[in-house]
Structures are given as C-alpha cells and as structure tokens.
Amino acid sequence: MKYKTLQFDCEQAAATITLNRPEKRNAISAEMITELLLAFDAAEASPARVVILTGAGKAFCAGMDLEELRAHEGQSLQENLEDARRMAKLFLGIYRFPKPVIAAVNGAALAGGCGLATLADFTLAAPEVKFGYTEVRIGFLPALVSIFLRRQIGEKRARDLLLSGRILDAAEALRLGLVTEVVPAGNLMACAREVAGILAAASLEAVARTKRLLVESEEAALQAEIELAIRASAEIRSTANFREGLSSFLEKRPPKWKRD
C-alpha cells in the first residue's frame, strides 16, 4: 500500500520503516499511528526477520503532533480515551512484536518519539542525538512511556527523566540503558543492518518465543498499568494547564501555569 507519513521497504533480512514527515520533525499524527500499525502488520506477514525503525531528515521523532492536539482541544473524554487507546495499541504492538525491532535513531527523539526509540529491542543512536521525555514541559503526562521506562532503567532513574523532562545526550542514554550502542551517524544504518543480519541468522521461532516469554511474564501487571495510563493521559487533555502548555509551546513563549 501507499503510505503518506512513512516509507516501508522490505528485504529478505529486514523490513525498514522510515517515519517520513521531516517538515514536522516526524511528529506522530493520528494518521501516522494508523500507518505504523499497518506497516508493522505488513512486516510481520513478510519474509523479513527483523524490523528497522528510523526517521527521515534531521529528527527521529519529535513526539506527538502538537498542532493536531491543539486542533482537538474540544474533544470529549471518550474521544480522548479513544486517542490514548490508539497510542497504547501502537506502543504495545511494538513491545510485543514477534520479530526483533531495531531503532536506528538518526536525530532527536523526544516525548512519544523517545518512547518509540526506547521501546525497540535494540536502540542504536548517533552521538549527536538528544533524548527526552519532555511531556511535563507542556503540561502533558508521559503516561504510557512511563510504564516501559521503569522496566528498562528502574524507578529512581525513571523519576529523574519523567519529572524533570530534561534532555540527555546519546552517551548518557547509553549509560542509563536506554541505548544499546552509540555509532557514528554515517554508519548508523549500516550498523542496524549488521545487527539485523546477526538476528536473522537465529531461529525465527526461537526468537519469537523468547520475546513472548519476556512479555508474558508481566502481562497482567502491564495490562492494569496501561489502563491507568490511558485514563490519566485522556483526563489531563481537558485541563487548563494542558491547553496553556500547548499554546505556549506553539507560540514560542514561556507558559503561564495555573496554580491551585
């Protein structure tokens, strides 16, 4: 099929999904979520044994499309819940994907984009890449990503990143365990294909069963946490501070937070 927000290329060893909204720094729109779900379905059905996820242009992914979010400010709680469920379906789909997923992080990975980058089984990053769970800076919640981040790096470190919304470089991301390897920008895709080749040499069934074992060991707890995160993510979108955060960011001015 033809995609509007991404590119899909499939070879014998690896299927490559490239986020392709460079003019928006590959921000995640509702259409992109739908197309990513379709692309991962296509990759699962294909002969490819590995998926490589990367971005077009200078950024990997700048997070949710804030202009689209502001356009939907008047949505009901039910509509916001449906939006949050679609995002949860994408994150869970990548987390549970039966084939190995390699994120080749070519540029900034922020907020939900940082979630996409670090959800992958292997995260390769260029040295110049900046990471950050920056949702609190615009009055939003890193609700869904928090579930996976705590499992990856522990609660104390997760609290540092989630509560501050601070930016970290690739070297620190490597130290924290968010990144598997830092490689020169010019070698990023070559390294991703090399890792894909190593993974493709293993038993596809054994790899899928190993991934399923890792996921199923915490399935009940994960489902409960996802439901809490969906509710929290939807509810904050009706608050004044969320609207102010969006407006201030898009208008390039400091936010004027409402105090209790």
Sign, Cα dihedral of 11, 15, 21, 25:
negative
Q: Is 118 left (phi over 0), alpha (psi -120 to 50) or beta?
A: alpha
HSE-up (13 A, CA, CB side) for residue 189: 13
Digit-coded pLDDT (tens) for 186-205: 999 999 999 999 999 999 99
Domain ranges of the chain: 6-200
At residue 72 the predicted structure's pLDDT band, cuts being 50, 70 and 90, is confident
* Residues linked to residue 10 through DSSP beta bridges, in sequence order: 15
Is residue 134 within 8 Å of 111, Cβ to Cβ? yes
To the question of domain 6-200 being in CATH 3.90.226.10, the answer is yes
Which is higher by pLDDT, 206 or 71? 206
What pTM value is reported for the model? Answer: 0.95
- Of the candidates 135, 155, 216, 227, the residue annotated as catalytic is 135
Residues in Cβ contact with 102 at an 8 Å cutoff, skipping those fewer than 6 apart: 14, 50, 51, 52, 53, 120, 121, 122, 123, 124, 192, 195, 196, 199
Q: Poorest-confidence range of 26-35, 139-148, 172-181, 215-224?
A: 215-224
Concerning whether 135 is annotated as a catalytic residue, the answer is yes
pLDDT (0 to 100) of residue 260: 52
Does 29 score more than 90 pLDDT? yes
pLDDT band at 57 (very low <50, low <70, confident <90, very high): very high
